[in-house]
Amino acid sequence: MFTVDDAEQTTERSLRLAAAVKTPTVTEFEMDLGAGLDEVFVSANGKVTRGDEVILLARSHHEIPSTVTVRGRLAGKKFERSYPVTFEPSVATSLVPRLWAAESMRRILG
């Protein structure tokens, strides 16, 4: 949101608005991981701007998919790309089940 409460803010807010308009954005954003993942939580809400991070948490009792396909619209044109999925065991990956559970509870409780 861009609001101007003070005349001194006009230049700074105008520059922020211009930067936001010029930044490439994927709209109608979707991620396709195929079948096998349950209760998927994605941090993107249909729109991803250049430089944004997209976090995906999911539960699965199957193999991790080998690719993820990203779809949407970029500059008004359909956009689709596939990326390989890699699994890197680390201390951080051991936290994923807890992060998924916390997000699940947050959504259940509203």
The overall pTM is greater than 0.85: no
Confidence grade of residue 99 (pLDDT, cut at 50, 70, 90): confident
What's the pLDDT tens digit per position in 36-93? 777 888 888 888 888 888 888 888 888 888 888 989 998 888 989 999 988 788 888 8
92: its two tokens = 């951080």
Helix (H) or strand (E) holding 67: strand 67-74
Residue 13 burial (C-beta neighbours within 10 Å; 0-12, 13-18, 19+): middle
3-state secondary structure of 28: strand
Q: DSSP label at 64?
A: P
Contact 26, 74 (CB under 8 A): yes
Taking 70 as the threshold, does the pLDDT of residue 33 lie above it?
Answer: yes
